[in-house]
Amino acid sequence: MKKQLNLICILIFFFVGLSLVPSIYSMGNGFVDGFKEKMSQAEEAHGQGTTHINAEILSPLALNLWPKSLTSDKLLNQKDQEWYPASHIKTLVWAKSKDVGIARYVSFLALIGLFFIIKAIIQFYKLINAINHEVIFDWMNVRRLNRIGRNLLISFVMTQTYMLMNYWTVTRLFELEGYEHNLWCDFQSMTLIMGLIALLVGRIFAIGLQMKEEQELTI
């Protein structure tokens, strides 16, 4: 039984870690691109004998699109040099920071959401470790389940707040022919569902422990 439990837990940790890779990659890639752009601007200014950088500071924005037609665009296939009908669903654009406004400052909400996901993973590890040591129906495990649920719900709120700010900004700045903005593309329902399930299981554990304690007192 323990081997099966450990195998399932290893798979859970592996796929959770795998699901975090795109977010970490995009954040790191955006930081590296921004750093390279600033270095390029600084070298250009140094070559001109000035310390003033005239280039605009750019901020990344995610465009979540819904095509009005399934063939809204075309893409050139380099293999056969033919154009193929295509539609864009997710696109990253670099807008002028002065136009983006305060939305560029709320990107830290995504980092906060990632932080609470990591906290939930740590609590999950502690829960599984306790179960491996045959400590199952225990009030500490109830608290761990509640912490997992709360961390996931906080992560959901932080991430969705960031997504809503991003949506408000792109609808204000961009209007693309053949496309409309899609609010629901980045709705992270799985985080919400897992958080609610963790709270539900924690409540079931608590009810079971209360019944057990009442029976022991009756005896």
Give 136-148 as a DSSP string.
Answer: -S-HHHHHHHHHH
- pTM for the full predicted model: 0.74
- Our separate counts of H helices and E strands in the chain read 5, 5
Q: Collect all residues with Cβ–Cβ distance below 8 Å to 22 and sequence separation of at least 6.
A: none
C-alpha to C-alpha distances, 33 to 19, 39, 120, nearest whole angstrom: 22, 10, 30
CA distance linking residue 124 with residue 137, whole number of Å: 15
Residues 116, 196, single domain; the answer is yes
- Is the residue at 6 inside a domain? no
Residue 171 has pLDDT above 80, yes or no: yes
Q: What pLDDT is attached to residue 157?
A: 92
- Is the residue at 89 inside a domain? no
CA distance linking residue 136 with residue 152, whole number of Å: 22
Q: What pLDDT is attached to residue 153?
A: 94
**How many domains does the chain divide into?**
2
CA distance linking residue 105 with residue 74, whole number of Å: 35
**Residue 183 vs residue 78, higher pLDDT:** 78
CA 60 to chain centre: 16
- Is the residue at 65 inside a domain? no
The DSSP call for residue 57 is P
CA distance linking residue 88 with residue 174, whole number of Å: 14
Residues 103, 46, single domain; the answer is no
- Is the residue at 168 inside a domain? yes
Residue 45 has pLDDT above 60, yes or no: no
CA distance linking residue 47 with residue 63, whole number of Å: 36
- Is the residue at 61 inside a domain? no
Range of the domain at 50: 15-55
